[in-house]
Amino acid sequence: MLSSLQLNGLSPFGQATGTEVVVGLTLIPVSWILYKFLFYPLYLSPLSKIPGPPVSAIPFTGNFWDIFSSEAGYHQLNWSYKFPRMYVYHGLFNIPRVLLTDPDLIREVLVTNAYDYIKPPNVIKFLGKIVGEGLLIAEGSAHKHQRKHIQPSFNPSVLRSFVPSFFLHSAELVNLWKVDLIGEDKAEVNILDGCSRATLDIIGTAGFGYAFHAIEDDEDAEGEESPTLHWAYKTLLGPRSMLEQLLLTFLPFFRNLPLKRNFAHQKGLNVIRDTSRELVEKAKESRAAQETTEVDDGVLGPKDLLTVLVEQNDKGGLTDEELVGQVMTFLVAGHETTSVTLTWSLYQLALDPDIQDKLRAEITPLFSKIDFNSPDFPNVPNLPTYEEMNALPYLNNFCKEILRLIPPVPSTTRVPAKDVVLNGYFIPKGTPMFFSPVVTHRHTHFWGDDVMDFRPERWDEAPAKDISPYTYFREYLEHSMSSQQRLIPSPAFLAGPRQCIGNRFALMELKVLLCTVLYAYKFHEKPGYVVRKAQGVTWRPKPGMRLIIERAQ
């Protein structure tokens, strides 16, 4: 008897043997893991009642590998045909994510009850280091307060005065690429790099009355030794290997290891924060001295965004730390998205020479009058005005179409700040919820069967002609939305009180940059160069964007 009990691993006195302890210690965590990462998310959670795609056969990986191994939004779009309105898919460890595709549901979350849905803490943690404690990550009453004080910086009268500086840096971009053409008919250029430098210079001038000279810098030669702002963003936002992305997502302490990559990352963050502090100090000194804000190029620096913000700071609207946060926010939000949009616009033009010719033909009467070589440029007669740039119909259609088909921010996310019921389903507080312009902008239900074709003309036809992707929120406030307007569920600039505050700025900047380089150059594909869209906050081209340019004039 004794020996058989011992053989079975049980003690004759009812005490656990070593084997029992080991089994017990193993069973408890294994059961917890199975419950937490398998049974609960897939079968027991209230979210398991929401339909969605089946998870992968590889345990605990949800739909992760499908998503990770394809272009952003590819599977999410396919699933949205099968599971209309909203569905649940699963990330690594079967973490559930709700994706909303129905216009009414999206409006409920982004517009009607916007402040009940906040940005996820992990996103805030990641973004906060790059964008600071600014508008992009503020929540609730802090967000309302900041937005109220920042809004005046984006009034149309302020934006109108930025147009010359948009032209100045666009012409510098033309000159940057001209160097590659010396003695050649055609040249290969690094489009993304140039666009990124130009938009950084624009936000420097228009945003802070400061010339970053990103287009002129050759910091690549010096790299980390004398880091510039452009180097910092290239380091922080540039492509990452799949391994690095995985490590950062699931083992965040990876960032703290003493690796070269991590030192460069930290240096990049320091450069951004130090530059932002300097800009605030300088703006406050100028304000104190009641100086005019003139940048060192002699370009009229009207009231740049920061000057307007410092005025708000004087009135007690924003603290010094909030000002630094806003500068960090504008620096990144104001240059990365427009640069990516401009890059894809030029790529699209290279793919379709007819569209390119048509757009160039539309702008030529206006642009041929500009004296780009004048020493007074951009303060020259005949420089197109804000209104003239907005009155070019094909250009307007082109911009709408590029933002539809290749929205630079492919998706964004929120979590409910409290338990909510949406579409009849209970959604617990803290559940990650996604809105994806890639899905809603590419869905045949909203746009018709030719949804994947790049056709600027579609904006003169139904259903697209009756909707404005830029003004969804304004139209929602000012008029009750018509059924057609409701067709745009998630425009590239988002909707609601957190809609992109820089949308008009960005559109004018995009138009001036695009038209100036298009007037100067013809763009062609580089044979054999395959480009994809990288997974990230913005839809950057991977491995980059190289095109062939040729003089157009």
Stretch that binds ligand HEM, among 96-104, 156-164, 488-496, 526-534 (CB under 6 A): 488-496
Closer CB to ligand HEM, 364 or 412, in the complex: 412
| First-residue to last-residue Cα distance in the chain | 101
Which DSSP letter does residue 10 get?
Answer: B
Closer by beta carbon to ligand HEM, 500 or else 514 = 500
How near is the Cβ of 265 to ligand HEM at its closest, in Å?
Answer: 23
- Which range of residues in 38-46, 325-333, 438-446, 523-531 is near ligand HEM by CB under 6 A? 325-333
C-alpha span between 375 and 377 (Å, rounded):
6
Please name every residue paired with 420 in a beta bridge, in sequence order, or none if there are none.
Answer: 427
Tokens found for residue 438: 């890639």
Q: How far is the CB of 18 from ligand HEM (least distance, A)?
A: 54
In the complex, least distance from residue 187 CB atom to ligand HEM, rounded to whole angstroms: 27
Pick from 449, 463, 359, 462: which is nearest to 402 by CA? Answer: 359
Task: State the residue number with the nearest CB to ligand HEM.
Answer: 502
∠ at Cα 229 (228, 233), nearest 5°? 120
Least Å distance, CB 502 to ligand HEM, is 2
Q: 37 or 330, CB closer to ligand HEM?
A: 330
Report yes or no: 41 and 49 within 8 Å, Cβ to Cβ: no
Map the footprint of ligand HEM across residues 382-421, applying CB under 6 A.
Answer: 408-409, 412
Instruction: Count the site residues for ligand HEM by CB under 6 A.
Output: 22
* Binds ligand HEM (CB under 6 A): choice among 89, 330, 347, 447: 330
| DSSP state letter for 425 | E
Give the one residue of 205, 341, 348, 471 binding ligand HEM; rule: CB under 6 A.
341
Query: Of 28-87, which residues contact ligand HEM (CB under 6 A)?
Result: none
196 scored as a contact of ligand HEM (CB under 6 A): no
Q: Which of residues 94 and 440 has its CB atom nearest to ligand HEM in the complex?
A: 440
Number of neighbours of residue 440 by Cβ within 10 angstroms: 27
R_g of the chain computed on alpha carbons: 26
Give Cα 15 to chain centroid, integer Å.
61
Least separation in angstroms between CB 173 and ligand HEM: 16
User: What is the C-alpha to C-alpha distance for residues 166 and 172, in angstroms, rounded to an integer?
Assistant: 10
Q: How far is the CB of 339 from ligand HEM (least distance, A)?
A: 9
**What does the angle CA 165 – CA 166 – CA 168 come to, to the nearest 5 degrees?**
60
**Residue 541 bridge partners (DSSP):** 533
**Which of 85, 129, 145, 147: binder of ligand HEM (CB under 6 A)?**
147
Q: Which segment (172-180, 336-344, 378-386, 463-471) binds ligand HEM by CB under 6 A? A: 336-344
H/E stretch holding 419: none
**Minimum CB distance to ligand HEM, residue 460 (Å):** 22
Q: Which string of b and e fits 186-199 if b means at least 16 CB within 10 Å?
A: ebebbbbbbbbbbb
Q: What is the DSSP letter of 16?
A: B
Is 195 labelled as part of a ligand binding site? no
Q: Any contact of residue 331 with ligand HEM (CB under 6 A)?
A: no
User: Closer CB to ligand HEM, residue 86 or residue 202?
Assistant: 202
Strand-pairing partners, residue 183, are none
Token pair in block for residue 253: 């302490």
Nearer to ligand HEM, 94 or 436 (CB): 436
334 near ligand HEM (CB under 6 A): yes
At a CB cut-off of 8 Å and minimum separation 6, what does 66 contact?
Answer: 56, 75
Distance of CA 322 to the CA centre of its chain: 21
Q: Contact region for ligand HEM (CB under 6 A) — 53-61, 162-170, 182-190, 492-500?
A: 492-500
For 479-496, the three-class secondary structure string (H helix, E strand, C coil) is CCCCCCHHHCCCCCCCCC
The residue (of 123 and 248) whose beta carbon lies closer to ligand HEM is 123
With a CB cutoff of 8 Å and minimum separation 6, the contacts of 183 are: none
Token couple for 33: 């893991």
Beta carbon of residue 250, minimum distance to ligand HEM (angstroms, whole number): 23
| Number of neighbours of residue 553 by Cβ within 10 angstroms | 11
| Residue 113 within binding range of ligand HEM, rule CB under 6 A | no
337 binds ligand HEM (CB under 6 A): yes
Question: Out of 101, 228, 313, 338, which residue is the one contacting ligand HEM (CB under 6 A)?
Answer: 338
> Restricting to residues 498-537, which ones interact with ligand HEM according to CB under 6 A?
498, 500-502, 505-506
Q: Are 492 and 469 in contact (CB under 8 A)?
A: yes
Choose between 67 and 399: whose C-beta lies nearer to ligand HEM. Answer: 399
Footprint on residues 122-141 left by ligand HEM (CB under 6 A): 135-136
Can you say which residues are annotated as belonging to the binding site for heme?
500
* Interacting residues toward ligand HEM by CB under 6 A: 135-136, 147, 329-330, 333-334, 337-338, 341, 408-409, 412, 492-494, 498, 500-502, 505-506
